[in-house]
Amino acid sequence: MGYGDRNNDRPRSGGFGGGNYGEPREMHDITCADCGQKSQVPFKPDGNKPVYCKDCFRKRAPPRRF
Ligand SMILES: [Zn+2]
């Protein structure tokens, strides 16, 4: 009695890591070189180049012109 209840608490979601959207990306903490906010980027900052948060990255992206 009460013994079997525990099993129901655990979601059984297969043996995979869960979340199957594309390849797993490791996020790296960065401090934005522009606004100074902490953010995360899906690539490893290489230390030589300034790293920007998503907003600033978009702001700084060169406009497309043809
Ligand atoms: Zn920023």
Q: Is residue 21 part of a domain?
A: no
Ligand 1 center from residue 51 Cα (angstroms)? 9
- Tally the domains of the chain: 1
Q: Is residue 6 part of a domain?
A: no
pLDDT by 10s per residue, the chain, length 66: 656 666 566 665 555 555 556 777 789 999 999 999 999 988 888 889 899 998 998 998 888 888
Q: Is residue 22 part of a domain?
A: no
Entry pTM: 0.54
Ligand 1 center from residue 35 Cα (angstroms)? 4
Domain that holds residue 43: 28-60
Q: Is residue 33 part of a domain?
A: yes
Q: Does residue 38 contact residue 56 with C-beta atoms inside 8 Å?
A: no
Element spanning 40, H or E: strand 38-41
Q: Is residue 10 part of a domain?
A: no
Q: How many CA atoms lie within 13 A of 53 on its CB side?
A: 9
Ligand 1 center from residue 26 Cα (angstroms)? 20
Q: Is residue 40 part of a domain?
A: yes
Q: Is residue 50 part of a domain?
A: yes
- H runs (alpha helix) in the chain: 6-9, 54-60
Q: Does residue 41 contact residue 51 with C-beta atoms inside 8 Å?
A: yes
Ligand 1 center from residue 40 Cα (angstroms)? 11
Q: Is residue 15 part of a domain?
A: no
